[in-house]
Amino acid sequence: MNQDEVFQVVRKKIKTFDFALPGSKKVYHVPLLKDLPMDETMQITGTASDGDVTMLNIKATSFIYDLFSKRAPDVGKLTQEEFGDLFHAYQEASGATVGESAASSD
């Protein structure tokens, strides 16, 4: 195979969801769902269950919590309601719902 026949993957600009936590001016950046590395994306797409929406919601919330806490450890100090607000804002910014994978949100 010569160089002209090799498909070259083009790096795209990663879009982020930017947020600050209560009482802090520090801004955290989390890639939007479609811009997550595949290793992380497979963690959420692998959580699809056999129609059990409650279990899917729990798994998706757990995934998003892990995603955020890796980048902003103080997320663990939020209340459930505050984290819920953050979770929903991230979903909206990413253009995805719980039942939709990052790959299908385009």
Confidence of residue 42 (pLDDT cuts 50, 70, 90): confident
Q: Which residue ranges make up each domain of the chain?
A: 3-105
- What b-and-e string marks burial along 70-87, b requiring 16 or more CB atoms within 10 Å of the CB? eebeebeebeeeebeebb
What is the pLDDT at residue 106?
A: 45
pLDDT per position as a tens digit, 51-80: 667 777 777 788 889 999 999 999 999 999
What is the pLDDT at residue 52?
A: 67
68 within 8 A of 16, measured Cβ to Cβ:
no
pLDDT per position as a tens digit, 3-35: 678 999 998 999 999 999 999 999 999 999 899
What is the pLDDT at residue 59?
A: 79
